[in-house]
Amino acid sequence: MFRKLIITTLSLAVSLLPITGLTQDNAWRPRLASLSPTDACEALSGLKIPASAIGLRTSGATISSAELISASARDNINGEFCKVIGNIHPVTYSAPDIEFEVNLPSNWNGKSLQFGGGGFNGRLVTGLGQYAKQPTPEDTPLARGYVTLGSDSGHKARLPGFDGSFLLYEEALRNYGHEQIKKTHDVAMHLLEARYGTNSQYNYFIGGSQGGHEAFDAVQRYPDDYHGAVAGYPAHNVVMLHLSANNYARALLANGGNSWISPAKVQNYVAAIYSTCDDLDRAEDGIISNVGACLEATEDFRSLSPNNPARCDGGQDIGDSCLSDVQIQALNEMDKPYDLGFSVFADDESTTVFPKWTPFEGSTFFDGGFPNLGADGPTSALQYGPGDATPRYAIAQDLTLDTMNDFDPAKYAGRIGRLMDQLSANSVNIDRFRDNGGKLIYFHGNVDDFIPVYSSIQYWERLNKRYSAETLGNFVKFYTVPGMGHVTGVFNARISSLDYLEAWVERGQAPDELLAVDENSATAGRTRPVCHYPAWPRYNGRGDVNSAESFTCVEQ
């Protein structure tokens, strides 16, 4: 009874304190921090966090559960920790809560790691597992002593895939766009300081795809909150990405559906690309590393002449072994930059030309599929999902719109500009992050079929226009990974990116080349150097072709 009274009193005290009080030597801090892990965790249950503790507008937050998970609990690989789940409440009545999870380890290392989501989010990111593209044998960040955190980004997905219905609600749209990152971070810092009685020494963010976008948001929008970030294959220019996806899907639906390329055709076509390009890096290993040479070697694949080795005789569709002229035209459409056709900003802070995809460079799923072409037809293709959802729900906000035939972006120029500001993370003004000593590592797979690598390259080129090479190299590193797709790829790369980030931020050891390990079952354990763009790994001509030591990063 006495213990419960102490815990209840401490919970009430914590709930009444504004965030500024968390940095002072208040009496409750050493008392709560000195409790046993069980009692300290229990004290957080039912905690109400005031809106003043969160840096963006909310109605505060409530802890729905706080449970101490023992190190011996079934299926627990993270050691002993306090699992805290709660909700951040919206300002507008129609918006959903942001559900979050914060995990507070008993063996805290003084640091935090925020996990990014994926796609349109809508599912709670727990922070209990590994970060994006972490090697499987490694301990999770939570097991290493990190406070870990994540959220559902402010809505629940009603359907699998790209359920964009939440985009109809302004606050939910803003939360997904970027605000949930700051709100979740601030709640986590409140809980962390309450539990341990001290501030976090280092705060990091790691995510891939939409989570990579969110890592960019952390750097661009909230530079005072993070010491470092890793962004894998980031969907940072997401509005333009989805407009380009709409154009991509239209290309496959053209000519009455005759432009559609079946999975069987795709498999044969991709095999022809690899046959042409695989050995251009001096190693026949199923990976295309020398992309520049491959683009030259596949020039004939673009033509409608008999010289095209993938073209059907006469240009007509005569089977799975070749492509018709209209199918080749669809690939050429994907291979061109997508130009919105009008400017939505007075300056060029956010580009309105989205770079090309990679249909002539070996872009493929590991199992032989092609850039997002579904087996059941065009509407099952991955690019159809975002290419339909964002124009329908976010831009036009018209559920009856035929986005493949009747959508004209020019009609919505003003709306698209506002959405770029709310949803995209495309600013190259990261002065404050640099001035704070922040470090950013980002990487992208060369055969990513959902977010083209050229999106990350375009951002890198824009950074190079703003900062000198020496200045930029002091706080941003960008890498490309041959053979890596969006989810797996012919080289299913795993990179210990948190280790590289820690070394850079905490010990001043800037990364040069990274090391990637392949986790595909057939080639598990082979390694490659991950080269700083624009370099790529070339086989030395001798040594084990499955070892990174047999490759050298070159720029030729």
- DSSP state at residue 242: H
Annotated active-site residue 496? The verdict is: no
Annotated active-site residue 209? The verdict is: yes
Cα(388)–Cα(404) distance, integer angstroms: 7
Q: How far apart are the first and last CA of the chain?
A: 73
Q: Out of 486, 497, 532, 550, pick the active-site residue.
A: 486
Amino acid identity, position 207? G
Tokens of 343: 């400017």
Pair 208, 125: CB distance under 8 Å: no
Cα(385)–Cα(369) distance, integer angstroms: 17
Q: Out of 209, 244, 424, 427, pick the active-site residue.
A: 209
- Tokens 């960008």 belong to 478
Cα(216)–Cα(459) distance, integer angstroms: 11
Q: Out of 325, 448, 449, 518, pick the active-site residue.
A: 448
Does an H or E element contain 417, and which?
A: helix 413-423
Annotated active-site residue 421? The verdict is: no
Output phi, psi for 229, to 5 deg. Answer: -150, 150
Residues in a beta bridge with 207: 231
Cα(128)–Cα(148) distance, integer angstroms: 7
Q: Is the four-CA dihedral 489, 480, 384, 150 of positive or negative sign?
A: positive
**Cβ neighbours for 556, distance < 8 A, ≥ 6 positions apart:** none
CB atoms within 10 A of CB 441: 24
Pair 516, 528: CB distance under 8 Å: yes
Cα(288)–Cα(212) distance, integer angstroms: 24
Output phi, psi for 49, to 5 deg. Answer: -100, 125
Can you tell me whether residue 133 is helix, strand or coil? coil
Q: What residues are annotated to the active site?
A: 209, 448, 486
